[in-house]
Amino acid sequence: MTLPIRNVAIIAHVDHGKTTLVDALLKQSGIFREGEDVPDCVMDSNDLERERGITILSKNTAVHYGETLINIVDTPGHADFGGEVERVLGMVDGCILIVDANEGPMPQTRFVLKKALEKGLRPIVVVNKIDRPQADPFGAVDKVLDLFIELGADDDQCEFPYLFASGLSGYAKTDLEAESEDMQPLFEAILDHVPPPIGDVNKPLQLQVTTLDYSEYLGRIVIGKIHNGVINSGQQAALIKEDGKIVKAKITKLMGFEGLKRIEIESASAGSIVAVSGFADANIGETIACPDDPEALPLIKVDEPTLQMTFAINDSPFAGQEGDYVTSRQIRDRLMRELETNVALRVEETDSPDRFAVSGRGELHLGILIETMRREGYEFQVSQPQVIYREINGQPCEPYELLALDVPEDAMGGCIERIGQRKGEMQDMRVAGNGRANLEFVIPARGLIGFRGEFMRLTRGEGIMNHSFLEYRAMSGEVETRRNGVLISFDEGVATFYALKNAEDRGVFFIEPGTKVYKGMIVGENNRPQDLELNICKTKQLTNHRSATGDELVQLQSPVDMSLERALEYISSDEMVEITPESIRLRKISKKLARR
């Protein structure tokens, strides 16, 4: 007899406590033995996820509550990783929407919730972080209802059940005044409000591939939900490819989920989420079916990318000194491998064999790919991100974003002025009463390129900025994104303290003394609009005369730290970012590349 099953996704805006809440559910379910050392955010297993404190890849786990097996899918909260959300929502029958008791729903809550409502899922709303000061749980519930109505939810969806919780403290409750010490009310809500999976065990097998994994021993592993039928370890099955071609293979291993582990099982039936090995060519959205009566499920539709970059081989004077993989063939193979698991990414070859057009959902989406490749030992360079234009009904259109800013009140004027110059239109303004204000805008996606650094300066580092794709609209004319010129090295060598100190009045530097530089490398930002070439390798001419100020301690102003995201936002159309495992450098495009 098979256990009753519930399949549920957890969706939320970035930093609203989604992964922490999953931690609390896992701990209460008893999957960890007593005394076991369990890290925080146990589902964020990727190094980049832990460093940045965000979920990038969707992952699933399973817990037992009484006699029921609950499959939980943790999804990313950032719109740039919407491809991860879209493909896993087909695996679940309900979702838990988590909102912060203080902030309420945010732009990316809207994005993920819209996808869930379109799938017909009925969310359970969890108002998290109720133990924080300034929390307004009932205000958050009212804002969620407004959002449901705005997104066109039906009457059943608007009658959503809601709970109050603190993921960090590990409790949930249906009544704000009630006492609670654990997550039992949330488990009960899942059993009561998430319907069991719909599927017929007597029909021929249909399993849709939603996630890909790889094992050195088993090769490619496909993860997905069984929509109909029964699957057995060792049986013959048919893979229905995207183009309709059928490939037959044997299921070499069948695995289910228990806690954070995969366990080998002999069979599974409709409604179960399983991992299968034996299909080396399987891709996201394809169907594993009965070989005697193969019938494909509808392919997973993912929103198109809105931003494009050029990835090229590194041709700087320092090329090949720091990376393990530097050739165009190695970069191409890595990008093609990424396509197998990253459904929202597009890679196209260009006229030049050593340049590739890579399209994604946003700067963060592409930035995570670049950072991952860099850590794997790849060396390459990338161009300024460009928005992808489309023609709709014969009219040129561009992507627009919904932008939400949380800023100090005294920075409101400067932010509104700069966004207006970038063709943004204000939709809403709320002053919170605690010295901060919430502003909402609709802005062309190209108006946001390079804005984050400027926003941080305007708010003195105290602002919070979130944005998500809204829709394609008619072109809005020129967007003003003026930036000062750059300081460029006109010699190859090592930057000296003497040269940097002498040029300090020219602008701010991105490098420090002892940094290796080459001709054409960008070393700082000019105070004026023009680019300026400098000799920053110049050394002081030594004499046997002692200076009257020779013993004074001379200090250099701190350089600006150009992180990967900051560098991608900063560069202009005639500049590139050189990416190596050890360095991130900015440079002017060489004449050779510019001619292509």
Annotated binding site for GTP: 15-20, 128-131
537: left (phi over 0), alpha (psi -120 to 50) or beta: alpha
State the residue for tokens 């054409």. 520
Cβ atoms 516, 580 nearer than 8 A: no
Cβ atoms 211, 280 nearer than 8 A: no
Q: Are strands 5-12 and 273-277 parallel, antiparallel or unpaired?
A: unpaired
Q: Where are the alpha helices (DSSP H) in 307-450?
A: 328-341, 363-375, 412-421, 445-448
38: Cα separation from own chain's centroid: 25
How buried is 184 (Cβ within 10 angstroms: 0-12 exposed, 13-18 middle, 19+ buried)?
Answer: middle
Please give the annotated binding residues, written as ranges: 15-20, 128-131
412 phi, psi to nearest 5 deg: -60, -50
As given in the structure block, the two tokens for residue 442 are 């609709």
Q: How many CB atoms lie within 10 A of CB 434?
A: 9
> Angle CA(372)–CA(114)–CA(109) in degrees, nearest 5?
60
Length of the chain: 596
Cβ atoms 107, 147 nearer than 8 A: no
Q: How many CB atoms lie within 10 A of CB 50?
A: 13
> Angle CA(310)–CA(312)–CA(318) in degrees, nearest 5?
135
Q: How many CB atoms lie within 10 A of CB 333?
A: 12
114 Cβ neighbours under 8 A, 6+ residues apart: 151
**In angstroms, what is the C-alpha Rg of the chain?**
27
Extract the runs of DSSP E, i.e. beta strands, from 83-122.
Answer: 94-100
State the residue for tokens 């599927």. 199
105 Cβ neighbours under 8 A, 6+ residues apart: 13, 99, 113, 140, 143, 144, 147
185 phi, psi to nearest 5 deg: -55, -35
Terminal Cα distance for the chain, rounded: 65
Q: Which amino acid is at 137?
A: P
Q: Return d(Cα 135, Cα 138) in angstroms, integer.
A: 9
Q: Which amino acid is at 248?
A: K
Q: How many CB atoms lie within 10 A of CB 141?
A: 18
Cβ atoms 426, 440 nearer than 8 A: yes
